[in-house]
Structure 1
Amino acid sequence: MIKNISLTLLAVFTLSFTAIAQEIDWVTLDEALELQKEQPKKIIMDVYTNWCGPCKMLDKNTFQNPDVAAYINEHYYAVKFNAEGNSKLTYKGQVFENPSYDPQKANRRNSAHEFSRFLQIQAYPTMVFFDEEGGFISPISGYLKPQQLELYLKLFKSDKHKEMTSQEQFNAYYKAFEPKFKE
């Protein structure tokens, strides 16, 4: 009897947790650009490396946050891009690869991918935002907690960044911003 109750409670807890936990629907950049043709959405690209500690923290602490995952899935196409990986991608008709990639260094510092150089990525992690037509908006470098990322997700989603012509305007937005995501 107690065993049956324990199993039932475990099943209910597991189902409840599964319903609450949400993962980001990651796609490749090529897939995101293709999806934009059918349903325009902005793109958030997580530019990471395999050896980067803050990148792993971003995955664990921020991208696993239910509020972050739900917001990204609803309003963005999410792309993971290994800045030192060996993938091949096409952006704006140009093909990007990593011809100096060394498979023996897959989990250590490796050659920078041509696309990370094209985007002028200089730190990991960096989140790169693209508009609904795949046009570059902005990179945001560094580890961000859920509420810190929320500020940028909502800034770019609403296009408020287009109204900001000075650092003072961004500072005013930053000070007035009231985060809703739970930490």
Structure 2
Amino acid sequence: MQNNLKIFICFFFLFIFFKGSSQQINWISFNELEKVQKNNPKNVLIDIYTNWCGPCKLMDKNTFGNADIIRIINENYYAVKFNGEGNETVKFMDRIFTNPNYDSSRSQKRNSSHELTRYLGVNAYPSTLFFDSSMNYISPIRGYLNPKQIEIYLTLFKDDTYKTLKTQDDFDNFMKNFQSQVKG
């Protein structure tokens, strides 16, 4: 009996250890973003999702769960996850945004768009938005992105590389020479 208890305790702690050691993206809120951006400016990635969006859930699992993508994002970006139809009050760019038409009875279904979602011009979910370290809007990327697809944008926008691409030929050359480091 005592051996069984020891075995159970060992497995319990192993489970806790391995579960706790899994890597995750360091998601922060918009309110936290304002604080950290003042102290240590970095580029920003914003994942705009909804509760009912199947591709959003797949992107969470497959893309934002990929160890290489997690590493790239955590090293180079502040990452914000935002429900585009939620009821959170958000301060962003010195403005307050709410969702005055939010219906709590529809929290797991389509709801009204958040004011911030409309302000950012988001009309599809998921949408991944990129800002530079001065909070200048770089680009929205609409739709599901697998790890290799998002890696291109993460690489392009993590520094000023995107500013050197002035023409379609420049972008095509970037894509031709891009070598993915992502596994999976």
Would the TM-score normalized by the shorter structure come out above 0.5?
Answer: yes
Any residues of structure 2 matched to 1:20-169 within 5 Å, and which? Answer: 21-169=22-170
Letter in 1 for 2:139: S
Judging changes above 3 Å, is the alpha-carbon distance between structure 1 residues 111 and 175 closer, same or farther for their aligned structure 2 residues?
Answer: same
Which is further off, 38-47 or 165-174?
165-174
User: What CA distance in whole angstroms lies between the structure 2 residues aligned with 1:48 and 1:152?
Assistant: 18
Q: TM-score with structure 1 length normalisation?
A: 0.89
Judging changes above 3 Å, is the alpha-carbon distance between structure 1 residues 10 and 98 closer, same or farther for their aligned structure 2 residues?
Answer: closer
Gaps of 5+ in 1: none
Q: Is the 8 A contact 1:65 1:146 kept in 2?
A: yes
Q: Is the 8 A contact 1:33 1:134 kept in 2?
A: no
Judging changes above 3 Å, is the alpha-carbon distance between structure 1 residues 87 and 11 closer, same or farther for their aligned structure 2 residues?
Answer: closer
Letter in 2 for 1:41: K
**What is the root-mean-square deviation in Å for CA atoms of aligned residues?**
2.1
Letter in 2 for 1:76: Y
Q: Percent identity between the aligned chains?
A: 44
Equivalence for 1:178: 179
Q: Give 1:72 deviation, angstroms.
A: 1.0
Q: What number of residue pairs does the alignment pair up?
A: 182
Q: Give 1:15 deviation, angstroms.
A: 4.1
Q: Give 1:16 deviation, angstroms.
A: 5.5
User: What CA distance in whole angstroms lies between the structure 1 residues aligned with 2:120 and 2:67?
Assistant: 29
Query: Which runs of at least 4 in structure 1 moved beyond 3 Å after TM superposition?
Result: 2-19
Letter in 1 for 2:95: Q
Letter in 1 for 2:24: E
Judging changes above 3 Å, is the alpha-carbon distance between structure 1 residues 17 and 180 closer, same or farther for their aligned structure 2 residues?
Answer: farther
Q: TM-score with structure 2 length normalisation?
A: 0.89
Q: Give 1:163 deviation, angstroms.
A: 1.3
User: What CA distance in whole angstroms lies between the structure 1 residues aligned with 2:106 and 2:143?
Assistant: 23
Judging changes above 3 Å, is the alpha-carbon distance between structure 1 residues 9 and 105 closer, same or farther for their aligned structure 2 residues?
Answer: closer
User: What CA distance in whole angstroms lies between the structure 2 residues aligned with 1:173 and 1:7?
Assistant: 53
Q: Is the 8 A contact 1:42 1:131 kept in 2?
A: yes
Judging changes above 3 Å, is the alpha-carbon distance between structure 1 residues 97 and 133 closer, same or farther for their aligned structure 2 residues?
Answer: same
